[in-house]
Amino acid sequence: MATIFTHPVIAIGLSPYLDLAEKRKQIILIAVILTILPDIDVIGFRLGIPYLHLFGHRGFTHSIFFALVISFSTTWFIVKNTGINFLPVWIYLFLSAVSHGILDALTNGGYGIAFFSPFSNQRFFFPATPIDVSTLSIERFLYNKGYMVMVTELIWIWLPLLIIFVSGLLWKKRNK
């Protein structure tokens, strides 16, 4: 998996394209949470749920279906009783939520992502997996593998998202 530090970079990198005056900061915070939420499935390890089970690690909560449902319901909750346009908020939250599985499918460890869960539990990686997988152990991350994980994440995620973020700021400034 990508680290908990890196998943939120997607929501932040895309944030300049969210053109809202009302509730903007709250929506960005919710998007950050949605980028991390799929890893709630690690609770399954403590509950004895096998890794490759539908609700195991990188299973249902990493799926496109989960991203659709959680982003749709969250958007509905945010925009109800407001004048905020549903579609741009939903697109932003969906991209934030679905990014988790996409980033994890770019890593070089584990058993892949169940993108099509609950309809299929088949696991997938992308053909290229340039990101070093992060360990779930804080101790192993700090003393063993963390440096290389962060280097690959900086190159393959942080730098591209920085370009997207700055481009969004320039686009926003130009269109004012």
Question: Is the per-residue pLDDT at 166 higher than 70?
Answer: yes
Question: Is the per-residue pLDDT at 147 higher than 80?
Answer: no
Question: For residue 172, what pLDDT band results from cuts at 50, 70 and 90?
Answer: confident
Q: Is the pTM of this model over 0.85?
A: yes
* CA 35 – CA 101 distance, rounded (Å): 9
Indicate the average pLDDT of the chain. Answer: 91
Residue 129's closest CA among 147, 143, 113? Answer: 113
* CA 89 – CA 167 distance, rounded (Å): 19
pLDDT at position 102: 97
Q: Give the contacts of 41 (CB within 8 A, at least 6 positions apart).
A: 55, 56, 57, 58, 59, 60, 61, 62
Mean pLDDT of 165-173: 93
pLDDT at position 132: 86
pLDDT at position 67: 98
Dump pLDDT digits (tens) for 44-60.
988 999 999 999 999 99
Question: Is the per-residue pLDDT at 143 higher than 70?
Answer: no
- 144 or 58, which is more confident? 58
Percent of the chain with pLDDT strictly greater than 70: 93
Question: For residue 89, what pLDDT band results from cuts at 50, 70 and 90?
Answer: very high
* CA 15 – CA 29 distance, rounded (Å): 10
Tell me what percent of the chain is helix, strand and coil, each rounded to the nearest 5. 65, 0, 35
